[in-house]
Amino acid sequence: MLVLGIETSCDETSAAVVDENRIRSNIIATQQVHIKYGGVVPEFASRAHVKQLQHIVELALREADCALNNINGIAVTYGPGLAGSLLVGLCFAKGLALRLKIPFIGINHLEGHILATAANEPKQEYPYICLVASGGHTLLVYVAKPLVYEVIGSTIDDAAGEAFDKVAKILGLGYPGGPAVEKAARLGNELAVHFPRALLEPDNLNFSFSGLKTSVLYYVQSLSKDQLITQVNDISASFQKSVSDVLAAKAILAATKYDCKRLILAGGVARNNHLRETFEKTCKNQAIAFAVPSPELCTDNAGMIARAGLMRLAKGEHSDYTLDVFPNLALKT
């Protein structure tokens, strides 16, 4: 079975082909048009998807060494995300499915992130806890069996990736913020400034990052321009440590509470090496098996969407042509 995946929920235009065992191709084009605006401009994102989606799909088919006629089903993100961007992918998928007379299925982008580790290793052990840390979401999910999710914690304000992006802006590190903060942090002392760690009460599985961001803002405002230049790496490292400490503590708390011996870290923030190392160390100490997708499968990509689609299509599920985009789609329990 070959499934074509399409992902256009934000500023990555991506197409992938998966079979039952692995990803055959996963083409990801990160739109450059937003850089000079310091964040994603929704209308420009939709236009860029329209312009390049067909070409990206052709590249994905070529790299997978297959023709359109070999594809058995299409998986496409229908939410959450930017309405116009989602619409480009969904319309394209519907049109192609109609022409090829094959089923298509709308996939929740968050399920895609959860299944990113499964993209190249479909046989996973259950149950597990998955922490999805992305630009729009920070979720703790209990996964008892394939395709069944229970959200057990989430952020009450900013997402972890959003905090990285806002702190990068405060520090003048530009966009995209996560990689820029990580780069600066590599040269800094993570113990230089003690930033707060929120909601660490023993029973609380929710997150809060807006106080941390404000604390970085106040700290920066207390510095002169010259002081900021000399301290930017230390502030980045101290902020990154604060986020890593909280995410790891909460994930371990969830694993303990739900008696899970397996933990998966996913979403764009999971690209962060400091965070990956913190999780590795903490899980080892607690005798919990840890898994994290390869970096390109952490940030938005169609490989994870195609895997989710293949798993659902194989169960006999599919969507019908009345399916619409759902910008605020939640993860179904």
- 3-state secondary structure at position 16: strand
- Smallest gap from Cβ 276 to ligand KG4, in A, equals 9
Is there binding between residue 8 and Zn ion (CB under 5 A)?
Answer: no
Which partner in ligand KG4, Zn ion, none is near 161 (CB below 5 to 8 A by kind)? Answer: ligand KG4
What letters, b where the CB count within 10 A reaches 16 and e where it falls short, cover 264-293? bbbbbbbbbebbbebbeebbeeeebebbbb
Which partner in ligand KG4, Zn ion, none is near 176 (CB below 5 to 8 A by kind)? Answer: ligand KG4
- Smallest gap from Cβ 239 to ligand KG4, in A, equals 10
**Residues near ligand KG4 (CB under 6 A):** 10, 134-136, 161-162, 164-165, 176-179, 182, 267-269, 271-272, 299-300
- Give the separation between CA 243 and CA 208, rounded to whole angstroms: 10
Radius of gyration over every alpha carbon of the chain, rounded to an integer in angstroms: 20
- Smallest gap from Cβ 264 to ligand KG4, in A, equals 14
Give the pairing of strands 262-266 and 289-291.
parallel
The vertex-100 CA angle with 97 and 104, nearest 5°, equals 25
Alpha helices in the chain (DSSP H): 42-63, 83-100, 109-114, 160-170, 177-185, 210-221, 225-257, 273-285, 295-298, 302-314
* CB-nearer residue toward Zn ion: 102 or 325: 325
* CB-nearer residue toward ligand KG4: 166 or 318: 166
When binding is defined by CB under 5 A, the residue of 166, 300, 303, 313 that contacts Zn ion is 300
- 3-state secondary structure at position 316: coil
Nearest to 333 by CA among 205, 145, 150, 152: 150
* CB-nearer residue toward ligand KG4: 10 or 310: 10
- 3-state secondary structure at position 154: strand
* CB-nearer residue toward ligand KG4: 85 or 103: 85
Q: How far is residue 326 from each of residues 79, 83, 198, 279, 331, measured CA to CA in Å? A: 5, 7, 31, 32, 12
Which partner in Zn ion, ligand KG4, none is near 108 (CB below 5 to 8 A by kind)? Answer: none
* CB-nearer residue toward ligand KG4: 177 or 188: 177
Which partner in Zn ion, ligand KG4, none is near 11 (CB below 5 to 8 A by kind)? Answer: none
- Smallest gap from Cβ 177 to ligand KG4, in A, equals 5
Site string for Zn ion, 116-145 (x = CB under 5 A): ------------------x-----------
Is there binding between residue 215 and Zn ion (CB under 5 A)?
Answer: no
The vertex-260 CA angle with 255 and 266, nearest 5°, equals 65
* CB-nearer residue toward ligand KG4: 182 or 190: 182
DSSP state of 332: P
Residues that bind Zn ion (CB under 5 A): 134, 300
